[in-house]
Amino acid sequence: MKFAITGKLLSTCVLLLVTVSVARAQVTVIKAGTLVDPDSGTSTSNQVIVVESRKIKAIGPGLAVPANAVVIDLSRSVVMPGLFDAHSHLCYTSHPGRRDQFYLDLTETTAYRAIEGTKNAREMLEAGFTTVRDVGNNGRYADTALREAIEKGIVPGPTMINAGRIIAPFGGQYHIQPDRPELGNPEYLYADTRDEMLKAVRENIQFGALVIKIVVDDQKYIYSADDIKFIVGQSHGAGVKVAAHCMTTRGCRNAIEGGVDSIEHAFQVDDEVLWLAKDRGVVLVGTDFPEKAAEYLGQGTEFAKMFHGVFLDRLKRAYKIGVPMAYGTDAFFAAPGETRGTIAISYIDTFVEAGIPAKDITKIITTNAAKLLGVDNERGAIRPGQFADIIATPDNPLDNIQTLKKISFVMKNGVVIKR
């Protein structure tokens, strides 16, 4: 059936829409005692931020407060953009004391993991992480379900750029046995031939991945630079970036030469390949475990010391060389007295130990990560047009980075989450 819409009816409809949207436009004004701009590493005093609906509308000293505005007084606090974790695993929780954690996680259903993910997502947001890049280990797309539930406002959580299933050579990150090759499924999408790689990229994107994650070098056979170039070509062609898990110098070199957007962990990479990363503008997401977080992996204090030590050494070298870096944690475990968010922010300790200035850490955990995730036009700064992802701390992180562990206020998309 066809409807003839008369001019009068059309104008009535338009009027109705305008009236509804005006009535719903919530204006919030934040009075910021100190406002930090992580990109320039500077701060200003007594700024007024006007938030309308989900976005920042205006900002400046002494702006008039609209009559209908809700005023949030943060004049005694330091205000800055929300934090980023560029390497999360929200739908994966390894519990201490559990034997053979990787295999046991395979006994959990995707549905259970999505529910567990909602807890981790809320805890991340409450700790000030308003955006994450979630890099796999989510069963059969629990991450897509979680992202959609967050986007629809069904559950609270950070904005997610999710990877779907991790694409890897046969076996993934496991050392499976011939009777049970399916044990790596669904955690990994095995892709060894070009046809399998093409299919894996397309399947991921079809099922909601916004970034592609590959594992380069966890087996004796590793992805070549040409393999990676192929995956990157297919991914970039579809408008998604590629994150590469690579531990060794050889794996990192292949990933960089293959054109990935970021190398993850780069645990044992040498200086020559770090220089290559710098020259090509490939971002290091270091997942630089502090000693305490390494202890939560449950392999003893000696292991934790060694594990942390290798990350610390690589972080120092990468910083000295000037490799672009974005904050990413790899927090995939539970620990007594901690939330997923408190664990994730504890990784700043490794940066402090490496002697990296607070100003640079502040930029690495906001501006740099927003660029890597491709969301810097929308998030990662407090300026008009950006989504209102805003946090507050007692001290200025440009001087005292530890203040990021004491976040007193969190707003995401203009909605107050914690106060």
- Positions touching Zn ion (CB under 5 A) are 330
CB burial string 127-148: b at 16+ within 10 A, e below? bbbbbbbbbbbbbbbbbbbbbe
Closer residue to Zn ion, CB minimum distance, 217 or 330? 330
The pair of three-digit structure tokens given for residue 214, joined into one six-digit string? 């590959």
Closer residue to Zn ion, CB minimum distance, 331 or 358? 331
Closer residue to Zn ion, CB minimum distance, 124 or 401? 124
User: Residue 71 CB, nearest distance to Zn ion (Å)?
Assistant: 41
Q: How far is CA 83 from each of CA 38, 71, 226, 356, 395, rounded to the nearest angstrom? A: 11, 23, 35, 18, 16
Closer residue to Zn ion, CB minimum distance, 37 or 330? 330
User: Residue 414 CB, nearest distance to Zn ion (Å)?
Assistant: 31
From CA 183, how far away is CA 166, in angstroms rounded? Answer: 14
User: Residue 89 CB, nearest distance to Zn ion (Å)?
Assistant: 6
User: Residue 332 CB, nearest distance to Zn ion (Å)?
Assistant: 6
The pair of three-digit structure tokens given for residue 50, joined into one six-digit string? 């006007």
User: Residue 350 CB, nearest distance to Zn ion (Å)?
Assistant: 16
Closer residue to Zn ion, CB minimum distance, 261 or 330? 330
The pair of three-digit structure tokens given for residue 309, joined into one six-digit string? 């030590």
User: Residue 214 CB, nearest distance to Zn ion (Å)?
Assistant: 12
Closer residue to Zn ion, CB minimum distance, 218 or 330? 330
Instruction: Give all strands (DSSP E) within 273-318, no chain letters.
Output: 283-285
3-state secondary structure 330-354: CCCECCCCCCHHHHHHCCHHHHHHC
Give the strand order in the sheet containing 241-246. 188-190, 166-168, 211-215, 241-246, 262-265, 283-285
Closer residue to Zn ion, CB minimum distance, 114 or 246? 246
User: Residue 329 CB, nearest distance to Zn ion (Å)?
Assistant: 9
Q: Cα-flanking dihedrals φ and ψ of residue 360, to 5°?
A: -70, -40
Q: Which residue is nearest to Zn ion (CB)?
A: 330
The pair of three-digit structure tokens given for residue 156, joined into one six-digit string? 């609270």
Q: Which of 9, 55, 14 is nearest to 412 (CA)?
A: 55
